[in-house]
Amino acid sequence: MQTPAMEQQHIQRVKNLGQSYRESPAQEDREDEEMTRSALSAFRAKEEQIERKKMEVRDKVFAHLGRVEEETKRLAEIKEELEAMADPTRKEVAAIRKRIDVVNREIKPLGQSCLKKVE
């Protein structure tokens, strides 16, 4: 892509080359003006093309970010659901352990009395 300075240099070179072949100063001025307008039009068209492409990329990036945010929220919901599923299991395990401890406490004296009877 040409910068404005490069385009200006190109225009100046063309002017210098064309000076020896031109017939009148008025025609030379018109040709210079026409070339300047043409270069300026090409430059503006290129700028517009770049701006359009930039906007397309920007729109795609924002659309992708939107999808990523939605998926992140969905993953957070799934994680909460899994944690909720795990919590009841933990509570059940804790309750069962408590019951086992209570039964062990009740059985321990019975086991000792049985041992005493056997001896």
Q: What is the pLDDT of residue 112?
A: 81
Contact 44, 36 (CB under 8 A): no
Q: Are 43 and 8 in contact (CB under 8 A)?
A: no
Per-residue pLDDT tens digits for 54-111: 999 999 999 999 999 999 999 999 998 888 777 777 778 888 999 999 998 888 888 7
What confidence score (pLDDT) does residue 29 get?
80
Provide the whole-model pTM: 0.44
C-alpha angle 9/14/18, rounded to 5°?
A: 150
Segment 23-35 mean pLDDT: 77
* Percentage of the chain exceeding pLDDT 90: 38
Q: Is the pLDDT score of 19 beyond 90?
A: no
